[in-house]
Structure formats: C-alpha cells, structure tokens
Amino acid sequence: MKASTEFPNPETRLLFDGDLILYQKGFKHEETPSWGIIQADIDNWIEGILDKFGTRYYIIYLTGKGNFRDGKAVTLPYKGNRTKPKPKWYRQIKDYLLSCHPTELISGMEADDAIAIEMTSNPNSIHVGIDKDIWMVEGWHYRYATHNSPEVPLELVKPHLKLNDKGKLKGGGYCWFYAQMLMGDRTDNIQGVKGYGDKKAYKTLEGCETEAEHYLAVKQVYDEVCGDDSEARIRENADLLWMVRELHSNGEPVLWEKPDGI
C-alpha cells in the first residue's frame, strides 16, 4: 500500500503512544484531588486530536511485561537509569485506558514497536506521540504540543538529517537510526560512541546518500573506537535502538540487518 502525499482521509487510523499518556497526564495531575477531572482531561485531549484529523479510528498502545532488549543490553542495563517514581495516578490512568478506550497492552517489546509494525503494514496510519526514537520509521507522524515543546504539523517522514539553528540534530528514517547509532540514547541508557553528539554525528553522515553508505560510515567509527569489539558493539546498539517493523512466524521480532550488498 503506497502512502498518500495528501492529508490522510477520515478512515486513517491514529496510533497513540499510550506510555506517554500515562506519564504526561499522570505528572500533570499529581496534585489533582479528583479522578473525574483527570478522566475528563484524558477524554477531551484524545477527542481533540481525533477531531483535528476528522477520524474516529484510533488505537492506544501500552508497554506490558517483558522486553527483548533487556537481554540484548551488555554495556549498560537497558533503561537502567530510570529511577523516578511513577506518577500518583499511573495505575488508574492505565486501567482506564484499557477499559474505556481501544487499547492494546504489548508484551515482549515496547508500545513503539507495535506502532512501528502497524505503520509499516498500513503506511496511511499516523503515529501520535513525541518520542524521537520512532521517527526512524518512515510514514506519517504528528507531534502534539507539550508544556515545553510546540506542536509539529503532520509530517510524512522520509530519510533525512538536519541541524537546526540551535545545533540540535533532527532526522527521520534510516538516517536517524544511524545517527542514533553514533550518539546513543541517554534516555534509554544506551551508550553511543564517546565524543559523538549532534554536530559530530551530522558531520559524519552528511555526505552519505544511501543506507549502505550510512552504515559504512558508522562502522568505520566503531572500528576506530572499539577495535576488535566493533561488530559486537554495533550489534548490541542496533538491537537496542531499532524499532521493530515486523515479526517472525513464531512471534519473535525481526531485528536490524545490514543493508543489502554489505
């Protein structure tokens, strides 16, 4: 199915990152005494986004038990740096989404992976969320406004990298994946290559035109820095960073593979 280059039609399905709802709404309402107020806020917020796109079709994805990445992390524990307590209303919000909204609880991987799989099988679906990781998945993305970030209009994301005027690297598709391979991801406790931030990653990859060229540029850096351990470190970080696009027949996730011809 070919992705449209026009605004999605009314039957387009919105794919909400529910993990973000749990924390954003949870922390927003830490001091809210009434569950009814929180429930109304969640419903009105979702309804507002549905109205924005003129659709009634949506799914909320929540991360459940187990994550294959836990067994892939060797250098550092995956998300081992997350020690902040969950919001006060976390459990109630989760139960409410599961019981009163079309919500799927994902086991063995993350909500983002389930969204990426759906986006891959239905390129006219729209990811609704603010997590930068899933922007490596080509397709429609909508980033809503938060207390510290403005709304980003609906975008059909394709492979690209760019530095904004503040020196912050933005990107999409496989270009963004390989940039993350260099920079790592502090939020998820994934260690990249020492010394590689936004500007250095961009400079390393800016002349690359194909996925194979991106991979070879990243491999050269890993070879220089990691020596004999470079292949193992590439494999580890790729497994941790890659958003799953499909599953094997046994239900196991299909992980990243080197570009064809390498």
Q: Number of structural domains, the chain?
A: 2
In the chain, what percentage of residues exceed pLDDT 90?
88
pLDDT at site 6: 57
Residues 151, 193, single domain; the answer is: no
Residue 163 inside a domain? The answer is no
Residues 64, 114, single domain; the answer is: yes
Domain's final residue, options 112, 133, 157: 157
Cβ contact 10:55 at 8 Å: yes
Whether the predicted pLDDT of 5 surpasses 50: no
Residues 37, 119, single domain; the answer is: yes
Residues 59, 152, single domain; the answer is: yes
Which range of residues forms the domain containing residue 77? 8-157
pLDDT digits (tens, 9 = 90+) for 153-200: 899 999 999 999 999 999 999 999 999 999 999 999 999 999 999 999
Residues 192, 221, single domain; the answer is: yes
Residue 141 inside a domain? The answer is yes
Residue 137 inside a domain? The answer is yes
pLDDT at site 8: 64
Question: Confidence band (pLDDT; 50, 70, 90) for 7?
Answer: low
Residue 215 inside a domain? The answer is yes
Domain's final residue, options 157, 189, 219: 157
Residue 203 inside a domain? The answer is yes
Residues 152, 175, single domain; the answer is: no
Report the distance separating Cα 153 and Cα 156, nearest Å. 10
Residues 147, 246, single domain; the answer is: no
Handedness of CA 239, 234, 190, 161 (dihedral sign): negative
Q: Tell me the pLDDT of the chain averaged across its residues.
A: 94
CATH of the domain at 100: 3.40.50.1010
Residues 96, 210, single domain; the answer is: no
pLDDT at site 49: 95
Numbers of helices and strands, H then E, in the chain = 8, 10
Report the distance separating Cα 118 and Cα 236, nearest Å. 25
Domain's final residue, options 157, 192, 211: 157
Residues 130, 19, single domain; the answer is: yes
Residue 1 inside a domain? The answer is no
CATH of the domain at 219: 1.10.150
pLDDT digits (tens, 9 = 90+) for 115-147: 999 999 998 899 999 999 999 999 999 999 988
Residues 207, 134, single domain; the answer is: no
Q: Which residues of 173-204 are buried (b: 16+ CB within 10 A; e: fewer)?
A: bbbbbbbbbbbbbeebbbebbeebebeebbeb
Whether the predicted pLDDT of 1 surpasses 50: no
Residue 166 inside a domain? The answer is no
Report the distance separating Cα 61 and Cα 193, nearest Å. 31
Pick from 3, 6, 16: nearest CA to 142: 16
Residue 164 inside a domain? The answer is no
Residues 187, 132, single domain; the answer is: no
